[in-house]
Amino acid sequence: MVEALDLSRLDNLFEKHQGEDGALIPVLQEAQNIYGYLPEEVLCYISRMLKVPMSKIYGVVTFYAQFYLNPRGRHIIKSCQGTACHVRGAKGVLESLTRELKVEPGETTKDLNFFLETVTCVGTCFLAPVIMIDKDYFGKLTPKRAVVALKKYI
Amino acid sequence: MKRLFSIEGFLGFQKTLFENRDPQRLRVRICMTGCRAYGAEEVRKAFKTTIDEKGLAEKVDILETGCHGFCARAPVVTIDPQGFFYQQISPRDVPQIVQTSLIKGKPSEKFLYKDPQTEYPIPLEKDVSFYRQQMKIVLRNCGQIDPTRIEDYIARDGYLAFAKALSSMSPEEVIEEVVRSGLRGRGGAGFPTGNKWKFARNAQGDLKYIICNADEGDPGAFMDRAVLEGDPHTVLEGMLIAAYAIGASKGYVYVRAEYPIAVNHIKKAVDDAKAMGLLGQNILGTHFDFEVKIKEGAGAFVCGEETALIASIEGRRGMPRTRPPFPAIAGLWGKPTNINNVETFANIPPIIHKGANFYASLGTEKSKGTKIFALAGKINNTGLVEVPMGITLERIIFDIGGGIPEGKKFKAAQTGGPSGGCIPASLLHLPIDYDSLAAAGAIMGSGGLIITDENTCIVDMAKFFLTFTQNESCGRCVPCRLGTKRMLEILQRITEGTGELSDLETLKELAPMIKDTSLCGLGQTAPNPVLTTLNYFLDEYKVHIEEKRCPAGVCKALIRYQINPETCTGCGVCRKACPQKAINGRAKEPHILDQSLCIKCGICFNECKFDAIKII
């Protein structure tokens, strides 16, 4: 049985951004921090409270890479594919992770433990090639060492 | 938090903070921004524990600073007052450093940087070759102060430029000073900043906006991140001066969400400036109002483009629009808006404080001042460097950057990210300035400088950039949306061995068309990596097409891994590491790689300790 979402957790967001121009994106960002992703019910509630049509909200959440409409895993793996990382073997690191986790970027593992995604540049280019798992950085990786980094989170 | 109600009050406060500085004070300055990703927090804890244990807590300040610049040697620590520079420090090194440097006042040789040529240890930060040729104007406070303490910034002449402008200069005089300094936009396009401010000043409107573009999206660029993390007040002060100059009362800092420390530090800076009375209504007792809000990006490279950024602040899809009207006339919510990059704003306080003549004495005739570059890729000294305009690429890459790792051969320097071009070895003598780089078909860009070596495939690089711009294209205009797709398809074919020579002609035809007809800078510059690589590395493209070979050993469809039976010791490391079980052999006997099972992941090549695996 699926639990109903507690939408009241959003209420103080609307209070906080009351009367603010351009509040949609900050509200979506903070809503995603609460639920981990943006369920449809949450988007509908935001639409009603901010008086913004669902079509516009859908346009915004599908435009920006930061927003997810599906649940993600317990741990978020970001494999940097920026230029400095690319030149130092980021592609091999990513392939190693997709092989090990048996998911493609943008997917969650079956046990819901990991969500794998690519990002272009987290700004720590001296660590190239780098991955982030949640807020932790793992740098100067090889395809093999990337898999070793996952162990801490299993 | 001290609250200031007048300019005199501020000046008195600043003088007190300045005079209270103790140049002989023992300080441990640890970078807690970039280095945090490499263990700086544990090092800091070790210092705190050891200093407390030795009863030195009253005598020694531990300062959590921003970026020192030499990221390749993270974690870095500098000890004051001497300026002993320690690098690659781990927690177990700390007791010795405390004993030798803090208690005995001597350098601890084991942890000093060693000159790669002479192998002599260099005790002082200012003498390390990485730093010697730099000139830190924008980065003057990074690594020297705690960025979360406004008092640290003020003690080092912070907000004096703003006080000067507010008390003794008219807005027009401020603009004139910026014009005379010759400052050009540091976001990449290099438009004269003073002129941009003039347009906004002259625009009609009772409500004007200042926006700081901190959406540093170029992969490989981290200059703005370091400034926001290490010295956020210099950016705020620049915005204040700009707001005063153009008559704006509201400002936004639009910072990408991928920089959480930068977001935190700029938020703290705004809160502190407000509490002190440097932001808000009737600032320092004058009629000048200015308030700043922070907006976080949501993961769209195109939002670095000014009209897309404005759309994003307004809560819309980040799609650019045609100009005119330019944002200076009709920008955020239709009001006159001046947008500048982080580094541009950070240059303003030194210009106003020390004067336009000082600034214009640095750099070249048409490119004044300094520029921060983020050195990354195949280079020994990855990190941030600030150099006067006009220095040659050769000096940046070899003298400051320490050259190419493992003695490999330099191939090209990529500037300007996905909008930029590559500069080959033959042009290394080029002085860095906006015009010489443009003449070579490259651009200065925001400052990302990626170095590549003989094992980087230039066709693969062009494909990499096109993949990026294709992904990030907002989709609004046909030339960019479809043009980048077609160019990418051609590059994919070439890297897979199915390219034809006529493809090169198609690329040469498509590229200028996309440049001329795209709606915004993303599309207009997307063909640049293709154009410059075709210009300087045509042969490499031809080898991929005619010989179906990748000389750098990168394009998977065109390479094979092979075990050399003469050097293979049969250790079995590759056999165990291979994810496809494609390698077989008995212990101590040369192993064999089954090409039909090989997926070219490169793991065996990375793991082999005997150099027995070759890419052919």
Structure tokens at B311: 């759309």
The amino acid sitting at A133 is I
Determine which helix (DSSP H) or strand (DSSP E) holds B512, and give its type and residue range: helix B501-517
B2 in Cβ contact with B159 (< 8 Å): no
The phi, psi pair for B483, rounded to 5°, reads -65, -45
Q: Note the pLDDT tens digit of each residue in A80-136.
A: 999 999 999 999 999 999 999 999 999 999 999 999 999 988 888 888 999 999 988
Q: Nearest-CA residue of chain B relative to A21?
A: B314
User: CA B466, CA B483: separation in Å to the nearest integer?
Assistant: 10
Establish if B106 touches chain A: CB-CB under 8 angstroms. no
How many other CB atoms are found less than 10 A from the CB of residue A76? 17
Q: Are B250 and B291 in contact (CB under 8 A)?
A: yes
Q: Which CATH number fits domain B458-547: 3.30.565.10, 1.10.357.10, 1.20.1440.230, 3.40.50.800?
A: 1.20.1440.230
Stretch B506-528: mean pLDDT: 96
The phi and psi torsions of B129 (rounded to 5 degrees) equal -60, -30
Distance CA A105, CA B221 (A): 23
Closest CA in chain B for residue A25: B315
Torsional class of B445: left (φ above 0), alpha (ψ -120 to 50), beta (otherwise): left
The domain ranges of chain B are 25-80+84-123, 150-359, 370-453, 458-547, 560-615
Q: Look at residue A3 in the predicted model and tell me its pLDDT.
A: 65
Which tokens belong to B360? 């214009």
3-state secondary structure of B339: strand
Could you read off the pLDDT of B275-324 as tens digits, one per residue?
Answer: 999 999 999 999 999 999 999 999 999 999 999 999 999 999 999 999 99
What does the pLDDT average to over B384-400?
96
Q: Quick count: other Cβ atoms within 10 Å of Cβ A36?
A: 14
Q: What is the dihedral of CA A144, A147, A148, A150, to 10 degrees?
A: 170
Segment B473-494 mean pLDDT = 96
State the residue for tokens 């991140």.
Answer: B225
Q: Which residues of B touch A21 (CB under 8 A)?
A: 314-315, 333
Cβ distance of A64 and B300 shorter than 8 Å: yes
The residues in A 15-74 lying below 8 A from B, measured between CB atoms, are 21-26, 28-29, 52, 56, 59-60, 63-67
CATH code at B25-80+84-123:
3.40.30.10
B312 contacts in chain A (CB < 8 Å): 25
pLDDT at B371: 97
Give this complex's ipTM: 0.92
Spell out the SS3 assignment of B51-99.
HHHCCCCCCEEEEEECCCCCHHHCCCEEEECCCEEECCCCHHHHHHHHH
Topology of the domain covering B150-359: Rossmann fold (3.40.50)
- Tell whether the model's pLDDT for residue B613 goes beyond 70: yes
Assigned token pair, B7? 């300019």
E strand or H helix at B593: strand B592-593
Query: Alpha carbon of B585 to those of B287, B569, B595, B602: distances in Å?
Result: 82, 11, 14, 18
Q: Which two tokens stand for residue B275?
A: 């509490």
> What is the per-residue pLDDT across A9-21, written as a single tens digit (0 to 9) for each?
899 899 999 889 8
Architecture of the B560-615 domain? 2-Layer Sandwich (3.30)
Quick check: B10 pLDDT over 70?
yes
pLDDT in tens, A25-82: 999 999 999 999 999 999 999 999 999 999 999 999 999 999 999 999 999 999 999 9
Distance, CA of B129 to CA of B115 (rounded, Å): 8
**pLDDT (0 to 100) of residue A1:** 46
Q: Is the pLDDT of residue B242 over 50?
A: yes
Instruction: Name the strand (E) or helix (H) holding B240.
Output: helix B232-246
Disruptive mutation site among A37, A121, A140, A144 for chain B (greatest number of B CBs within 10 Å) = A121
Q: Which of 132-151 (B) contact A at CB < 8 A?
A: none
**C-alpha distances in Å from residue B476, one per residue of A24, B313, B454, B488:** 22, 19, 38, 18
Which of A63, A67, A82 lies closest to B318 in CB terms?
A: A63
Q: Give per-residue pLDDT as tens, B141-173.
A: 999 999 999 999 999 999 999 999 999 999 999
Tokens of A34: 């609460």
B69 at the A interface (CB within 8 A)? Answer: no
Interface check A123 vs B, CB under 8 A? yes
CATH topology of domain B370-453: Ubiquitin-like (UB roll) (3.10.20)
CB atoms inside a 10 Å sphere around CB A69: 12
A126 or B229: which leads in pLDDT: B229
